Structure 1
Amino acid sequence: MTIALVTGASRGIGKAIALQLADDGMDVAVNDIQTQLEDLEAVKTAIEQKGRRSICVVADVSKEDEVINMVESTVKQLGELNVMIANAGIIVAKTMFEISVEEWDRVQAVNVRGAFLCYREAGRQMIKQGKGGKIVGACSTAGHRPSGNTFAYGVSKWAVRGLTQSAALELAKHDINVNAYCPGPVDTAMWGEIDASIQRREGLAPRVAFEQSIQSRVALKRASEPEDIAGLVSFLASPKSRNITGQSILVDGGISFS
């Protein structure tokens, strides 16, 4: 039995990943913050309706003690931990001159410290189990080519790329693969924040910035859906990816090419 833990799983990409891993035959612990508990419980129910076990674990990934407790709770209730998906993240859609120090710190705390803590605690548990494992983090096309409209977010995703490479090197001897996924525009609440910010700054109608981004940047001329990202994560969490590690893989419809 494979046990997965998905952070930020109450909606959007995290929800799609959790449901996909359940379809792949995994039992899935789902995490989010307290204010998202109602939506998180709905995801848990959907996983159970697929015939898999699931638990909700409320935690703020930027807080060390809560991440430690999140992993311990998963192992205690589901048996072990084989797959960690460090998906949780936030965005502040502001330029370098608009963002405050407090906003900067919060983005880095969730997106970078949160990923680090999830990688570290999952790695620690997987080493203890002695069976290897899969750790997958949330990067972004912004981690390959940043945008000025999301200054702190872009910097945080470059950090996730570095974190993923460093962790992959350190954990390789334990047969633990560490990779990240890099979405482009996905029609989720996070992109809604970006769209609203550009709308205010440039006086555009709702969703115009989103559609313009698709048409001007994406080779396939279509936005990604959460399920597109979940498909890549499904592969990275499976035995089929056993010889892939340290990679931050683009799944953006053709914005950046590596």
Structure 2
Amino acid sequence: MALTHSRRFEGKSVVVTGAAQGIGRGIAARFAAEGADVLMLDRSEAVEEAAEKVATRHPGGSAIGVRTDVTSADDVARAVDLADRTWGGVDVLVNNAGVISISPLEDLSLDDWQRVLAVNTTGTFLCAQAAAASMRRHGRGGRILNAASGQARQGFIYTPHYAASKFGVVGLTQSLAKELAKDRITVNAYCPGIVASDMWDYNDRAWGRLLGDYEPGELMAEWVANIPLGRAGTDDDVADLVLFLASEEAAYITGQAINVDGGMFMN
């Protein structure tokens, strides 16, 4: 269950990538509900409608949706410049954008390898670089939160590129946490497990075909049954952690990668 909404992010500007749907949209909505001004970025044009819905449902904050390719330095620079001009800078960056593909090694194309690393790792770097520059300019400190994964803890079969990308996010998080600490900018990663989403629907089908004769939904149910807390995660489970890490209560936490997975991984 989500935490009771407050106004703890009133006057804060928050940038969320991968915000057209799923976890990203859920995180953006929670920040808006707590008074933040939210810039929602996604390569899909659906982000504009998503932002309109967030703004309508949560009038205490505001939301703007902008089509943005996080692998494009120019796109990212334009988005951060919009936040600077509209709200006087970036206070919180949530690097939520991510992609996955599932394939045996011999069938994994170089294009797929490069696409997953480009979005998940290079995109995180580009957005963090631009947002950190904004945070330094306005001198208020800030929060950078990067989406890692259970596969930042342990690689899984048929996804070496995804695991590499998420291990890279954790390394990037730790390095930036050390560099930006003097500017009062904390940098942390969050590691979701199984969360109901279009991505996990794809994971269930693709891994199910490769790991055995699974019908849609069967492999997911098998995995969920092995989660110690006995259920899949929700957008709010992830958002609760992200909003805590973005809050003043987490001012002394940096360089960490925190699981939010019901106990799937305990390291």
- Look up the equivalent residue of 2:17 and give its one-letter code: T
> Could you list the per-position Cα deviations for residues 14-33 of structure 1 after superposition, in whole angstroms to 9, with x for gaps in the alignment?
01100111122211010101
- Look up the equivalent residue of 1:214 and give its one-letter code: V
Q: Give the Å deviation of 1:49.
A: 3.1
Query: Per the alignment, in what secondary structure is the counterpart of residue 97 of structure 1?
Result: helix
1:227 and 2:236 correspond: yes
1:100 and 2:112 correspond: no
Q: Give the Å deviation of 1:39.
A: 4.8
Residue pair 1:24, 1:234 contacting (<8 A) in 2 also: no
1:42 and 2:50 correspond: yes
Q: Give the Å deviation of 1:249.
A: 0.4
What is the alpha-carbon distance in structure 1 between the residues aligned to residue 47 and residue 93 of structure 2? 20
Alignment match, 2:80: 71
> Could you list the per-position Cα deviations for residues 152-199 of structure 1 after superposition, in whole angstroms to 9, with x for gaps in the alignment?
111110000000000000000000000010000111111111111123
> Could you list the per-position Cα deviations for residues 125-162 of structure 1 after superposition, in whole angstroms to 9, with x for gaps in the alignment?
10011110000010001101111132211111000000
Q: Give the Å deviation of 1:43.
A: 3.3
Alignment match, 2:256: 247
Residue pair 2:50, 2:65 contacting (<8 A) in 1 also: no
Q: TM-score, normalised by structure 1?
A: 0.95
What runs of 5+ residues in structure 2 fail to find an aligned partner? Answer: 1-10
Aligned residues: 255
- Look up the equivalent residue of 1:208 and give its one-letter code: E
> Could you list the per-position Cα deviations for residues 47-75 of structure 1 after superposition, in whole angstroms to 9, with x for gaps in the alignment?
34311222112110011111111111122
Aligned-pair RMSD on alpha carbons?
1.2
Alignment match, 2:208: 199
- 1:48-127 equivalent positions in 2, closer than 5 A: 48-51=56-59, 52-127=61-136
Q: TM-score, normalised by structure 2?
A: 0.92
What is the alpha-carbon distance in structure 2 between the residues aligned to residue 7 and residue 47 of structure 1? 16
What runs of 5+ residues in structure 1 fail to find an aligned partner? Answer: none
Question: Which stretch shifts more, 194-203 or 221-230?
Answer: 194-203
Alignment match, 1:7: 17
